[in-house]
A and B are shown apart, each in its own frame.
Chain A
């Protein structure tokens, strides 16, 4: 199935998605990598309020390449980064905020249960940064630029951002885990 979704996402929007479906997103994406995740969790612990809202949000695991021009920030190249690095911090993030979709590449080991009834993981082709930049229409704003260009939180306005493959749905099905399990079985046989 193919779906075209508009942010902010509602729970109903993502509940209908099944692993393997193709999704296109229009609206706003917030980029967040290692350092931004760490800061979001740190602020939660201190009881501080975030400068942006993550309720119904789509988080994009991306450290974009931006250029500052006279009219503001311009996206040069903005593909997904390896989501695996954020696996440990993501369950706490999802407990603290109603993030509805995470876009990244490579999958996230062991987070299917944290996503259940809450959120989906959408895979975007790794390295396809020039392609992604074409679908990002505007840089709305940027937070935490002190973390450096790749680690800052960029708020991006996108139109029909995709194709995204539902890699992990909100019902516990995880394509990446299935591929990994199969590969492990093949490896086991080869090792004998």
Chain B
């Protein structure tokens, strides 16, 4: 089955997807921020949440990115094994990033890690970062999740001893206390448990894409409640909402290992998806 999408239309759609992700938050994220504003009792924290909500309105009204850190470009792609694009998808995604950078516009953030030279167009070696997953079917789902550095820099990885599962919650709490206001709370916290060091990190990042209103399990709820008991609050100025949600993803791991990765997401939990192909 052919996907019947031209390379030009694909690039156009992805550039538009990036624009959408940069300008407006998914409904579940915005609604969680509104709830936090209503519930907050600290006046300073409330004023910060109100600024966030006003900022979202202005970004939408003027069609400009909600944050000047328009992030490093990350795509999650679920590639149906029967989907036939008929062109080089990675090269097309790259072109879409360059197009969106000029059009939206996006801040050029991609630099060489050692010389720190900025490419000027948000592409570079391994950037955009594309996570491919093969799935059954004839569709291609692309999720754009541009990630800012303020929150990404507070992420953490620890290789625990296998008997230390009881220490996972405290590892998250230590990471959040260490970060305090720096990653722009209220946060979404993604936790990846198991796999290997790199698999755990990927799971933690994928966990950020879970709907914020999805039901949480016991561990997730315990982490969320204890994180919010720390009193760090919006922007680290004190308050009751330090995190909006905690999502944990697991994978089996070596009997001698217990990798745990934490990916921290600022209030601007930006992502947007599009599906190509399918029955036509």
Contact = CB atoms under 8 A, between A and B. Distances in A.
Contacts of B55: 79, 125, 127-131
B31 to A, nearest CB: 17
Contacts of A131: 51, 54-55, 58
Q: How large is the interface on A (under 10, 10 to 19, 20 to 34, 35 or more residues)?
A: 35 or more
Contacts of A150: 107-109
Interface in B103-121: 105-109, 111, 116, 118, 120
* Residue of A107, A127, A165 contacting most chain B CB atoms (<10 Å): A127
Interface in A143-175: 148-150, 163, 165, 167, 175
Q: How large is the interface on B (under 10, 10 to 19, 20 to 34, 35 or more residues)?
A: 35 or more
Given A127-B184, A176-B236, A182 B107 contact: no
A123 B235 contact: yes
Interface stretch (A6-14, A44-52, A58-66): A58-66
Contacts, number: 167
Contact of B238 (A179, A190, A191): A179
B66 A129 contact: yes
Q: Looking at chain A's contact residues, is the secondary structure mostly helix, strand, loop, or mixed?
A: mixed
B278 interface: no
B51 A128 contact: yes
A187 B107 contact: no
Nearest to A129: B68
Contact of B181 (A64, A77, A176, A186): A176
A10 to B, nearest CB: 27
Interface string B215-252: 00000000000100111111111100000000000000
A190 B52 CA distance: 31
A74 to B, nearest CB: 10
Contact of B69 (A67, A81, A84, A133): A81
B116 to A, nearest CB: 8
B58 A134 contact: yes
Contact of A107 (B59, B65, B69, B180): B180
